[in-house]
Amino acid sequence: MLRKGLATEVRWFALYFAAMVFVGFSFGYWREAAILALALYVGWTFRNLSKLERWVHSARNGDIQENTLFGLLGEITEDIRLLNHRYEKDKQRLQSIVSRVQDMTSALNDGVILADRRSNIEWWNRAAKHMLALRQVDFGHRITNILRDPRFQAYFDEEDYGEPLDIESYRNEGQQLQFQIHPFGQGERLIIVRDVTRVAKLEQMRRDFVANVSHELRTPLTVVRGYVETLLDMPELQPTLKRALEQMQQQGQRMTALVNDLIMLTKLETDDRSAHQEPVNIHQLVSLIINDARAIGDEQHNFTNAVEDGLALRGNEKELRSAISNLVINAVKYSPEGCHIEVSSTVDSGMFALHVKDDGVGIDPIHIPRLTERFYRVDGGRSSTAGGTGLGLAIVKHVLIRHDAILKIASKPGRGSTFSCCFPNQRLVHNAQSA
């Protein structure tokens, strides 16, 4: 069936053509009349098409004029007018939703920034403007050109947004900002900025408190341990008193280890991480650690140092020594006599890994994700007999974070464990001089 516009057009054309031919026929020129009728129709159609084009052009510029066409072109014009009307209504509705969402986010205390797929700033709310001192001219610019902190730039480009990024504000001294990026749509990103100054201050207070208490405990502990040792050296001690003093000495040693680990952890949390970047020869370091382990009386385990010689890691020697020592000492503590402990290295694409492997008691997989938490122990009884503080792996984790590295743990109960420290290859220095 013909649509209304086309049907009207056909009807009018048939009527007009028949009338023209009839008039021509009356004068004996029906052929000429038919040709003239067709020529006039084509001319009239072209004129209407040109009118339609002008109408569409002005409609595109927002000026919807009266529809003066009829027939097929008239109907097309009317359809376009209706579509345009519907589009305007939808646009207004969407605009009101967008401005409502913008009003809502403007009321937030958290900063919100929208970055398009080319990382250019598309929009921000009032809080973001205030916190980051954003100006009107910053619209449309690449966000990393506006927020120039290298840590933010690395975080933004890394595209691993599992953890938020905490940095000090460049605008207000002492203000601590937390950035969290949420990708959405097709490559767009939503950046949430929070003022975490209060939380950071509380965290700092907690660290200071732990550091102060640990320092304050050190001196009385040294005095108590000194007296216990002097008393233990006394001749002819009663056996019960001797046993009590020996236990006091043992617990004193544990407390000293605990205090030392707490001080170490606080230092790791507060020190400037980029301060130390000297190349550390890993093979030599592992040899020293193994010698230390043997020197403190561990002749029951077989150690192998299979770390490739001539490799060095850019980092802090003291911290790396502490982390690797903790892993080797754990391997000793949690594997029975006669077991084999091997420290080896692998260089893979983009990663240098140092593995500490033992064939000891192993760990149930359910514990692995929590092992690096402070004071987390798989088996409290066994750990305390082994003399652990529960802070060793927390120290390892912090040292590794400060060296852009991660700890991977592979273990099976009864089949031993492998602790791998994975460093980015950029930290690796080849052909390190052996001393």
Q: In DSSP terms, which residues pair with 195 in a beta bridge?
A: 177
Interaction of residue 334 with ligand ADP, rule CB under 6 A = yes
* Sign of the dihedral through C-alpha 258, 264, 266, 268: negative
Shortest separation between residue 352's beta carbon and ligand ADP, angstroms? 21
Closest distance between ligand ADP and the C-beta of residue 411, in Å?
7
Q: Which two tokens stand for residue 277?
A: 């970047």
- Please state the closest distance from residue 361 (CB atom) to ligand ADP, in A: 5
* Closest distance of CB 280 from ligand ADP, Å: 22
Question: Considering just the CA atoms, what is the radius of gyration of the chain in Å?
Answer: 40
Out of 128, 192, 258, 393, name the contact with ligand ADP by CB under 6 A: 393
Q: Cα 383–384–385 angle (5° rounding)? A: 95
The answer to whether residue 389 forms part of the interface with ligand ADP (CB under 6 A) is yes
Site for ligand ADP contains 127 (CB under 6 A): no
Q: Does 378 bind ligand ADP (CB under 6 A)?
A: yes
- Per 3-state DSSP, the chain is made up of helix, strand and coil in percentages (nearest 5) of 55, 20, 25
**Interaction between residue 323 and ligand ADP (CB under 6 A):** no
Considering only 78, 122, 149, 379, the residue that binds ligand ADP (CB under 6 A) is: 379
From residue 339 to residue 358, what is the string marking binding to ligand ADP with x (rule CB under 6 A)? -------------------x
Q: Which amino acid appears at position 371 of this protein?
A: L
Query: Which part of the chain contacts ligand ADP (CB under 6 A), choosing from 58-66, 209-217, 279-287, 323-331?
Result: 323-331
- Edge to edge, the sheet with strand 312-315 lists 278-281, 312-315, 428-429
DSSP 30-79: HHHHHHHHHHHHHHHHHHHHHHHHHHHHHHHTT--------HHHHHHHHH
C-alpha closest to that of 253 among 385, 387, 395: 387
- The C-alpha angle with vertex 401 and arms to 388 and 379, in degrees rounded to 5, equals 25
Q: What angle do CA 182, 183, 187 make, to 5 degrees?
A: 160
Query: Could you give the CA distance from residue 208 to residue 111 in angstroms, rounded to a whole number?
Result: 30
**Shortest distance, CB of residue 321 to ligand ADP, whole angstroms?**
16
Nearer to ligand ADP, 71 or 388 (CB): 388
Tell me the number of residues near ligand ADP by CB under 6 A: 22
Q: CB nearer to ligand ADP: give 356 or 432.
A: 356
399 contacts ligand ADP (rule: CB under 6 A): no
In the stretch 17-46, what mask flags binding to ligand ADP with x, by CB under 6 A?
A: ------------------------------
Query: Is residue 383 within the footprint of ligand ADP (CB under 6 A)?
Result: yes
Q: Minimum Å distance from CB 250 to ligand ADP?
A: 15
What is the DSSP track for 204-254? HHHHHHHHHHHHHHHHHHHHHHHHHHHHHTSSS--HHHHHHHHHHHHHHHH
Residue range at the interface with ligand ADP (CB under 6 A); choices 88-96, 114-122, 372-380, 421-429? 372-380
> Binding residues for ligand ADP, per CB under 6 A?
326, 330-331, 334, 358, 360-361, 363, 371, 376-379, 383, 388-394, 417
